[in-house]
Structure 1
Amino acid sequence: DSLCSLRENEIKALTAEIDRLKNCGYLEASPNLEKLREENLKLKYRLNILRKSLQAERKRPTTNMININSRLQEVFGCAIKAAYPDLDNPPLIVTPSQQPRFGDYQCNSAMGISQMLKTKEQKVNPREIAENITKHLPNNDYIEKVEIAGPGFINIHLRKDFVSEQLTSLLVNGVQLPALGENKKVIVDFSSPNIAKEMHVGHLRSTIIGESMSRLFEFAGYDVLRINHVGDWGTQFGMLIAHLQDKFPDYLTVSPPIGDLQAFYKESKKRFDTEEEFKKRAYQCVVLLQSKTPDIIQAWKLICDVSRQEFNKIYDALDITLIERGESFYQDRMHDVVKEFEDKGFVQVDDGRKIVFVPGCSVPLTIVKSDGGYTYDTSDLAAIKQRLFEEKADMIIYVVDNGQAVHFQTIFAAAQMIGWYDPEVTRVFHAGFGVVLGEDKKKFKTRSGETVRLMDLMEEGLKRSMDKLKEKERDKVLTAEELEAAQTSVAYGCIKYADLSHNRLNDYIFSFDKMLDDRGNTAAYLLYAFTRIRSIARLANIDEEMLQKAARETKIILDHEKEWKLGRCILRFPEILQKILDDLFLHTLCDYVYELAATFTEFYDSCYCVEKDRQTGKILKVNMWRMLLCEAVAVVMAKGFDILGIKPVQRM
């Protein structure tokens, strides 16, 4: 009940904030206006989510992990509201403390409130404000005590029993989030290579980031549709089909052994550029393809299938799940999209092209070319319309490189202009990312200046990871199967983690040496750390069943400062994930898993879990609550790995 009333208070506060932002009329000429508008949209979006989650919250008992930060925000939100009822949307700032002497969390709202009161001609010292807030704190299960420090920081100390109970609940019920995305649908558009061309390193980022985002939303209870918008239509198919007809004239009855599609593409391109007669036939094939002539469609399907088999090898190896919906899927929808823009008076004709000017965007969209053909603008509009109206998506995320930012801003603005969606209700977002650079800080290329094929890169990763394992003489202690499992886990885990651990907006330097280094924030280090944590119980002869029994019967004691630090770090998992659901920056999760592993190492170095006889190595004593802390770290790390798409192994 207290949670529901706290949620209601947060709703009131957010509504007030929205009104305040609406009334910022004097900011018209300010560069902050756009930022404020964006904030306003985010707030409204969050408000809708809160309202829905409040309704759901009333219905269910919880075995989920609690987002401690947001619970503390609710408590302090109530206190501030009670202490300063006349203030319109006062600042609410609660963050984890950076140092133990400042408690576990800090509320830093007093300074902001002092500024607000100053504008109302009331001069109040922030320390007094902090005291007033703490007097109005409602009863709650989370806080042991609060202290006021410095100019008005409120240091919050959590109750040990509360932290201990949460850890027990985590071990008994597993890692579960509150069902944030219940009855909500998210579409993630990612990977999207072109048919008849090989996947290269540029597709790697979109594929890895999109997969990880999809896993996160699935874990938070959303219904996720992962879409691969492949380039499977267009003029290049004319030359490919014409070349297929010449090279394999009986393609309709005998499956043509195309084999190397890349070479096939280059041959047809060369003919297209040099043979006038061939070029004419290629254009005829395009016309026949667009009018869906059966033989030509058959040839088109053959070419797509060869390509698809190549893509699937990569997707299977990297454990990527996608539903293919290429350009061809949207062809029949484009005519209606153009008509709708025409009917609503948004289309202008310019040199025979049909263009649409979108307010706030510098470049117009071209929705019909002068030769009557459609463009990427047309197909992206058709795609967004299909996703909004047929799929009924609550959120659409495009994982496409930064170079497409202006294009997507224009597409989104056009979709809003024509009334397809309201950004306060539906979140449509371009999750852009930087390019992959070589160690020379230039675009990642092969020695001969070609783009790096993804397949070659993955094979190189496997080779290097095996070299590394042999260098550590793991081939002498692991079975052949274990060695192979460790090889793929490290190779693909390192490639994914190196990408995800960088802020996606930045370019990043691809370096096998760095990513396979088992020191520092790398997958190699984390996979070794995880294996070590998992082996502690195994070496103490404690199995899964004993741990489950202990979780129900043993209280987790957090008296040692390193136990306390580790316990709190484990429980920050939900607030980390909530932050990523809001801003879509996955490197935050990598930083957290690394911090968790480092905090575990500190704990393990200071607190014995198993006491052994120095001479015989016989186990004398097992500290069960510390074993449970090890287990809690392992289950949270495992879930973090799962979201990042990394497969840990039990032995390596």
Structure 2
Amino acid sequence: MLSKKDMDLFNERATAAEREIFGLKQQLESLQRSITTNIPSNITKEEFEKLQQENAKLIHRITILKRTVEMQRDKLDNKMELFGTADTISIKDNLSAVFHKAISAAYPDILDPPVIVTTSTNPKFGDYQCNSAMPLAQQLSSSGTKINPRDVAKEIMSKLKVSSVIKKYEIAGAGFINIYLKREFGQSVLCNWLWAGEVLPPYVKKKRVIVDFSSPNIAKEMHVGHLRSTIIGDSISRLLEYLGHDVLRLNHVGDWGTQFGMLIAHLQDKFPNYLTITPPIEDLQTFYKESKTRFDEDEEFKKRAYKCVIKLQAFELNITKAWKMICDVSRQELEKVYTRLDIKLIERGESFYQKYMESIVLELESKNMLEEDNGRKIMWGEKHGNGVPLTIVKSDGGFTYDTSDMAAIKHRVEKERADWLIYVTDAGQSLHFQTIRSCAKRAGILKSFHRMDHVSFGAVLGEDKKKFKTRSGDTVKLSELLDEGLKRALQKLREKERDKVLSQEELKAAQESVAYGCIKYADLLHNRNHEYVFSFDKMLEDKGNTAVYLLYALTRIRSIARTANITKDELRQRSHEVPISLEHEKEWKLAKVLLKFPDVILGVTEDLYLNPLCEFCYEVSCAFTEFYDKCYCVEKNQSGEIIKINMGRLLLVEATALILEKCFNLLGLKPVAQM
């Protein structure tokens, strides 16, 4: 079995070689332009010959480097043929590598050939397609070689090698190359999952990733506006952790600033002995509203509040103690919601970055990157970016969100050693994060190898297509939303008379699985950049692409082996004795859907959209239903006695269950044995 150390070493060498090829290609193109389009009329023969020699050297160097990369790829392919791989194979990556090699062999003069591999939507045209012939023909024609796309496809076909993944190729239409997978390959991958007892992740280069999500304000209850960031951020973190990345989940809570001045001043008045007796702040939301009313209406109170802010920023002992009390009460309430939703987070609020804000201002000033603007100190991004500057220091000398976000990026990159930063916030903050990224690059904090993503999302709407509110017009509290979900889920289970067959413990588990699962899944199912209408009625439907339908489908799938009295351990053992049955058309169709899992996962890491994973779950469930309707796994006689067990099909059933369980885990859903 190929070790991950070998994979890492190969990837490092191949990446370095390809990076050098890219650099040389740019040099070559620049030199060729200068030779063909920018030759001075008075150039000497010797100068022209010198340019031609340099051109020839670059072409020779590129040829050597390309050969080196191909040799490394061949070595890796040979190892994989002999020993297999410890990871799950990405079919698209595998096919792309196969066709890249064939196209490079067929047309060595094309430095960066288009390699387009897609999943076929019609079984008549294979399982996958390579659609490179048309753009290649256009590229060749533009350089003076007129050729038909179908002839290009034939030339590519002549260079394709035997593969452990591919059964056959065929040319169709104007030059499409249809690709058919080997069933033996499918059996091998599914067997590996069964033997491992889990779906192994595809290989990726490991990174240190920081995901900033949820981020409510201290002293305020979480509301429906925090729902999407919390759910999306958790699922992204789960997926990246599954792939083996070192993920730090950060909750950048609002625990600093003016609001704490008014809260502390109100605490001093309402509980003057707070230093010796812990104040009974049970309803923090009411406490906050009281302090806000006083702040807005009482000028003397407002002055005291501002003084408390200054003392807090100076870390005065008694003021800091009051701040900690308020944060502790709020934190306990937040944790109740996170526990219900099974969300893991490390709190690191704005207060954490106070000292780093001071140092980032000094650093930016030393680099002459701050400008005076009506008493403020502002910073522009690269080439003035999008025309909006950051406000690093306010006119009163205070700091802003811009300051803390710049300080946070510096800390996360330099202290936490992050390679990849992900921020999960509403779409309204897109411009802010574009500016932050641009300024961090200009300041030299974000380097070229760092990745920073703003995962934006649209609003949650009520059924009136307006922002989701209570009947009284208040923002919906997240805890109340979850309570309503539990109530509706229990009603649904009772309608199905599940309360008559499930124990109290099983009913409670099913209720929570359905309630929290349907809320999470309905959110993740939608393209995150779109608004969506929150509707418990639609979420709790047991037909179509809903959590209820999928959770029920998995419960039904798991019941098949129980009906046959065969345990998971027995299935695991039999997976090396009995081949997985893929002869029937519906068996093979289901297997091919399961095999797409690595590509779905890798696709999510590219753009951080989770709806394709939800759509994949539904595709698996539909393919399984087709399979189960046509292929008997357990046959019984009229008395209900088992007369035949098709073990090959039971193994396919188990592989399906493993895939769905892994997908549910990544989406934050909790399936139950009985529903």
User: Where on the TM-score scale, by shorter chain, does this alignment land: which range?
Assistant: over 0.9
- Secondary structure of the residue aligned to 1:552 is coil
Q: Does 1:119 align with 2:142?
A: yes
- Secondary structure of the residue aligned to 2:663 is helix
Query: Does the CA-based 8 Å contact 1:194-1:231 persist in structure 2?
Result: yes
Corresponding residue for residue 38 of structure 1: none
Q: Does 1:259 align with 2:282?
A: yes
Alpha-carbon distance between aligned partners in 2 of 1:196 and 1:557, rounded to the nearest angstrom: 58
Deviation, structure 1 residue 557:
2.8
Q: Does 1:407 align with 2:407?
A: no
Q: How does 1:223-238 map to 2 (within 5 A)?
A: 223-238=246-261
Query: Which segment is superposed worse, 553-562 or 461-470?
Result: 553-562
Corresponding residue for residue 274 of structure 1: 297
Q: How does 1:415-564 map to 2 (within 5 A)?
A: 415-423=440-448, 425-564=449-588
Corresponding residue for residue 220 of structure 1: 243
Alpha-carbon distance between aligned partners in 1 of 2:328 and 2:28, rounded to the nearest angstrom: 56
Q: What do residues 248-293 of structure 1 show as CA deviations (whole Å, max 9, x unaligned)?
A: 1111111111111110011111111222222221111111111111
Alpha-carbon distance between aligned partners in 1 of 2:145 and 2:292, rounded to the nearest angstrom: 75
Corresponding residue for residue 307 of structure 2: 284
Corresponding residue for residue 32 of structure 1: none
Equivalent AA in structure 1 for residue 188 of structure 2: E
Corresponding residue for residue 63 of structure 1: 86
Q: What do residues 172-209 of structure 1 show as CA deviations (whole Å, max 9, x unaligned)?
A: 12211144243x20000000000111111110100000
Q: Which runs of 5+ in 1 are unaligned?
A: 26-49
Corresponding residue for residue 296 of structure 1: 319
Alpha-carbon distance between aligned partners in 1 of 2:84 and 2:584, rounded to the nearest angstrom: 32
- Secondary structure of the residue aligned to 2:590 is helix
- Secondary structure of the residue aligned to 2:576 is helix
Alpha-carbon distance between aligned partners in 2 of 1:625 and 1:336, rounded to the nearest angstrom: 64
Equivalent AA in structure 1 for residue 363 of structure 2: E
Q: Does 1:360 align with 2:394?
A: no
Cα 1:56–1:94 shift into 2, 3 Å:
closer
Alpha-carbon distance between aligned partners in 1 of 2:24 and 2:436, rounded to the nearest angstrom: 28
Q: How does 1:297-376 map to 2 (within 5 A)?
A: 297-358=320-381, 359-376=384-401
Cα 1:500–1:438 shift into 2, 3 Å:
same
Deviation, structure 1 residue 580:
0.6
Alpha-carbon distance between aligned partners in 2 of 1:61 and 1:598, rounded to the nearest angstrom: 30
Equivalent AA in structure 1 for residue 422 of structure 2: I
Query: Does the CA-based 8 Å contact 1:6-1:74 persist in structure 2?
Result: no
Alpha-carbon distance between aligned partners in 2 of 1:413 and 1:142, rounded to the nearest angstrom: 43
Alpha-carbon distance between aligned partners in 2 of 1:83 and 1:620, rounded to the nearest angstrom: 57
Instruction: Return the match for 2:269 from 246, 266, 271.
Output: 246
Equivalent AA in structure 2 for residue 375 of structure 1: T
Alpha-carbon distance between aligned partners in 2 of 1:606 and 1:621, rounded to the nearest angstrom: 16
Q: Does 1:378 align with 2:406?
A: no
Deviation, structure 1 residue 88:
2.1
Equivalent AA in structure 1 for residue 191 of structure 2: T
Deviation, structure 1 residue 335:
1.2
Identity %: 58
Cα 1:61–1:127 shift into 2, 3 Å:
closer
Q: Which runs of 5+ in 2 are unaligned?
A: 31-68
Query: Does the CA-based 8 Å contact 2:376-2:393 persist in structure 1?
Result: yes
Alpha-carbon distance between aligned partners in 2 of 1:19 and 1:434, rounded to the nearest angstrom: 43
Query: Does the CA-based 8 Å contact 1:192-1:231 persist in structure 2?
Result: yes
Corresponding residue for residue 156 of structure 1: 179
Corresponding residue for residue 129 of structure 1: 152
Q: How does 1:597-612 map to 2 (within 5 A)?
A: 597-612=621-636
Q: Which has the larger radius of gyration?
A: 2
Query: Could you list the runs of 4 or more consecutive aligned residues of structure 1 that deviate by over 4 angstroms after TM superposition?
Result: 1-25, 53-61
Q: How many residues align?
A: 624
Query: Does the CA-based 8 Å contact 1:64-1:175 persist in structure 2?
Result: no
Q: How does 1:89-100 map to 2 (within 5 A)?
A: 89-100=112-123
Deviation, structure 1 residue 97:
0.9
Instruction: Return the match for 1:596 from 610, 616, 620.
Output: 620
Equivalent AA in structure 2 for residue 485 of structure 1: A
Equivalent AA in structure 1 for residue 441 of structure 2: Q
Query: Does the CA-based 8 Å contact 2:119-2:129 persist in structure 1?
Result: yes
Q: What do residues 30-84 of structure 1 show as CA deviations (whole Å, max 9, x unaligned)?
A: xxxxxxxxxxxxxxxxxxxx99x99999899623211111111111110011011
Alpha-carbon distance between aligned partners in 1 of 2:28 and 2:222, rounded to the nearest angstrom: 50
C-alpha RMSD of the superposition:
2.4
Instruction: Return the match for 1:198 from 221, 237, 243.
Output: 221
Query: Does the CA-based 8 Å contact 2:211-2:422 persist in structure 1?
Result: yes
- Secondary structure of the residue aligned to 2:178 is strand
Query: Does the CA-based 8 Å contact 2:225-2:459 persist in structure 1?
Result: yes
Query: Does the CA-based 8 Å contact 1:63-1:169 persist in structure 2?
Result: no
Equivalent AA in structure 2 for residue 67 of structure 1: S
Deviation, structure 1 residue 160:
1.5
Query: Does the CA-based 8 Å contact 2:218-2:331 persist in structure 1?
Result: yes
- Secondary structure of the residue aligned to 2:399 is coil
Cα 1:56–1:514 shift into 2, 3 Å:
farther
Q: What do residues 444-499 of structure 1 show as CA deviations (whole Å, max 9, x unaligned)?
A: 11111111100110000000000000000000001110000000000000000000
Deviation, structure 1 residue 121:
1.6
Alpha-carbon distance between aligned partners in 1 of 2:454 and 2:634, rounded to the nearest angstrom: 50
- Secondary structure of the residue aligned to 1:553 is coil
Deviation, structure 1 residue 139:
2.7
Corresponding residue for residue 35 of structure 1: none
Deviation, structure 1 residue 571:
1.0
Query: Does the CA-based 8 Å contact 2:127-2:178 persist in structure 1?
Result: yes
Query: Does the CA-based 8 Å contact 2:171-2:178 persist in structure 1?
Result: yes
Alpha-carbon distance between aligned partners in 2 of 1:463 and 1:14, rounded to the nearest angstrom: 57
- Secondary structure of the residue aligned to 2:582 is coil
Cα 1:56–1:114 shift into 2, 3 Å:
closer
Alpha-carbon distance between aligned partners in 1 of 2:365 and 2:300, rounded to the nearest angstrom: 38
Alpha-carbon distance between aligned partners in 2 of 1:479 and 1:357, rounded to the nearest angstrom: 63
Corresponding residue for residue 41 of structure 1: none
Query: Which segment is superposed worse, 209-218 or 359-368?
Result: 359-368
Alpha-carbon distance between aligned partners in 2 of 1:9 and 1:383, rounded to the nearest angstrom: 34
Q: What do residues 493-551 of structure 1 show as CA deviations (whole Å, max 9, x unaligned)?
A: 00000000111111111111111111111101100000000000001111122211211
Query: Does the CA-based 8 Å contact 1:482-1:651 persist in structure 2?
Result: yes
Alpha-carbon distance between aligned partners in 1 of 2:209 and 2:544, rounded to the nearest angstrom: 34
Cα 1:104–1:539 shift into 2, 3 Å:
same
Deviation, structure 1 residue 215:
0.5
- Secondary structure of the residue aligned to 1:546 is helix
Q: What do residues 116-144 of structure 1 show as CA deviations (whole Å, max 9, x unaligned)?
A: 01101211111111111111012321111
Deviation, structure 1 residue 9:
7.4
Q: TM-score, normalised by structure 2?
A: 0.89
Query: Does the CA-based 8 Å contact 1:437-1:507 persist in structure 2?
Result: yes
Query: Does the CA-based 8 Å contact 2:600-2:613 persist in structure 1?
Result: yes
Deviation, structure 1 residue 559:
1.3
Q: What do residues 345-400 of structure 1 show as CA deviations (whole Å, max 9, x unaligned)?
A: 11111111111122222111111111110000000000000000000101000001
- Secondary structure of the residue aligned to 2:616 is helix
Corresponding residue for residue 641 of structure 2: 618
Alpha-carbon distance between aligned partners in 2 of 1:78 and 1:508, rounded to the nearest angstrom: 44
Alpha-carbon distance between aligned partners in 2 of 1:128 and 1:64, rounded to the nearest angstrom: 37
Deviation, structure 1 residue 7:
9.9
Query: Which segment is superposed worse, 301-310 or 268-277?
Result: 268-277
- Secondary structure of the residue aligned to 2:279 is coil
Q: TM-score, normalised by structure 1?
A: 0.92
